[in-house]
């Protein structure tokens, strides 16, 4: 197949489509797309007709080092299959990196339709051993690395809407079960992933008027970041068996959320693992006691215990059982 390359390293050709054309014509940015879940998402979007900006710093599982190899390898994999992709190796947790990420999509493909925030790494420690640098590093890559690309993309989409070109824009953020329940030894990661849920809810409420839908996933899959968690599932399944922990199992939901077909779905959090998809219902008011006046401390405690007896038992944090 003949291909041609533009100044941004994108190789254009006729894609050999996968199962459909759900994202035909859409331009999708995936951060942290050099390996694991991000790579699976990028390939799945390309298989559905999207043109993909593959972002990755190429760092280690703890954020150390860096290489442009992983991003370029995934972009090459897409173009070799006949798709359209460009590698971006900037740091999305910086204002400059986030700006160049969006600019790469616009300059290479002329538009931006979907942002998948996925970049991250781990610095696991028990709280009493967790130092400030490890806290800051994880907060930076996960939470700031979601905020800055989201803010930059949202500014573009708002400008488009105000210019009379309302987008059909989608954002898929990546939280975690650790962000929903907590995870022993991952105080920094759990806090960052919980923050991503809060950011998702606010962004969905604020950006809907501009044609932007924002959702989050809490995936479970076998990646560099989870290899210890899923150590027993690391071995490849026997021939004919379903690989329940393959990252590719999560991507179909992400692709659908990133497509125009997800119209009307926003401000939601989904768990995705193996062949299971769950809508997480989040915080809702439960049993309530109202005396119409101020409680004394002992009375407040008695009321709280009575209310707790009428609620479902809280699920424990991961690793606490």
* 8 Å CB contact between 174 and 118: yes
Facing residues of 27 across strands? Answer: 51
Place of tokens 């800051």: 136
* 8-287: CATH topology: Rossmann fold (3.40.50)
pTM summary value: 0.87
Q: Read off the pLDDT of residues 201-210 as tens digits, 9 standing for 90 and up.
A: 999 999 999 9
Distance CA 49, CA 283 (A): 37
**Would you call 269 helix, strand, or coil by DSSP?**
strand
* Strand ranges for 41-180 from DSSP E: 51-55, 84-88, 114-116, 169-174
Distance CA 217, CA 230 (A): 19
Q: Which residues contact 232 (CB under 8 A, 6 or more apart)?
A: none
Task: Please tell me the predicted confidence (pLDDT) of residue 243.
Answer: 87
Q: Work out the mean pLDDT of the chain and round it to a whole number.
A: 88
Task: Please tell me the predicted confidence (pLDDT) of residue 33.
Answer: 96
Q: What DSSP state is assigned to residue 315?
A: P
Per-residue pLDDT of the chain (321 residues; tens, 9 = 90+): 233 333 333 433 333 444 579 999 999 999 999 999 999 999 999 999 999 999 999 765 554 555 578 999 999 999 999 999 999 999 999 999 999 999 999 999 999 999 999 999 889 899 999 999 999 999 999 999 999 999 999 999 999 999 999 999 999 999 999 999 999 999 999 999 999 999 999 999 999 999 999 999 999 988 655 555 544 445 566 777 888 889 999 999 999 999 999 999 999 999 999 999 999 998 889 999 999 999 999 999 999 999 999 998 888 998 886
* 8 Å CB contact between 85 and 54: yes
Task: Please tell me the predicted confidence (pLDDT) of residue 14.
Answer: 36
Q: Token digits for 294?
A: 């101020």
Helix (H) or strand (E) holding 55: strand 51-55
Radius of gyration of the chain (CA): 21
Per-residue CA distances from 128 to 114, 139, 254, 257, 316 (Å): 40, 18, 36, 39, 20
Task: Please tell me the predicted confidence (pLDDT) of residue 11.
Answer: 38
Largest separation between any pair of C-alpha atoms in the chain = 78
Task: Please tell me the predicted confidence (pLDDT) of residue 46.
Answer: 98
Facing residues of 30 across strands? Answer: 54, 116
Q: Read off the pLDDT of residues 127-155 as tens digits, 9 standing for 90 and up.
A: 999 999 999 999 999 999 999 999 999 99
List the catalytic residues: 176, 189, 193
């Amino acid at each position: 197949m003949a291909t041609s390359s533009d100044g941004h390293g994108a190789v254009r050709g006729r894609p050999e489509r996968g199962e459909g054309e759900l994202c035909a014509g859409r331009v999708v940015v995936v951060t942290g797309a050099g390996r694991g879940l991000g790579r699976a998402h990028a390939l799945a979007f390309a298989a559905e007709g999207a043109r993909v900006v593959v972002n990755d710093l190429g760092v280690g599982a703890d954020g150390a080092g860096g290489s442009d190899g992983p991003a370029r390898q995934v972009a090459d994999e897409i173009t070799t299959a006949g798709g359209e992709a460009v590698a971006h190796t900037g740091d999305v947790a910086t204002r400059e990196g986030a700006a160049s990420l969006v600019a790469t999509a616009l300059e290479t493909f002329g538009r931006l339709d979907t942002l998948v925030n996925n970049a991250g790494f781990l610095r696991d420690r028990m709280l009493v051993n967790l130092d400030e640098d490890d806290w800051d590093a994880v907060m930076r890559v996960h939470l700031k690395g979601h905020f800055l690309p989201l803010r930059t993309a949202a500014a573009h989409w708002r400008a488009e809407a105000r210019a009379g070109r309302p987008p059909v824009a989608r954002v898929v953020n990546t939280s975690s079960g650790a962000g929903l329940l907590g995870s022993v030894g991952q105080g920094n990661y759990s806090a960052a992933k919980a923050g991503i849920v809060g950011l998702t809810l606010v962004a969905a409420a604020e950006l809907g008027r501009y044609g932007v839908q924002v959702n989050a996933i809490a995936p479970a899959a076998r990646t560099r970041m989870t290899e210890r968690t899923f150590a027993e599932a690391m071995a490849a399944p026997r021939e004919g068996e379903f690989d329940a922990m393959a990252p590719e199992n999560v991507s179909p939901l992400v692709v659908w959320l990133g497509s125009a077909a997800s119209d009307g779905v926003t401000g939601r959090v989904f768990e995705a693992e193996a062949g299971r998809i769950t809508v997480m219902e989040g915080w809702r008011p439960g049993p309530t006691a109202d005396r119409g006046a101020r409680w004394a401390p002992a009375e407040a405690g008695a009321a709280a215990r009575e209310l707790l007896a009428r609620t479902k038992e809280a699920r424990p944090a991961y690793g606490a059982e």
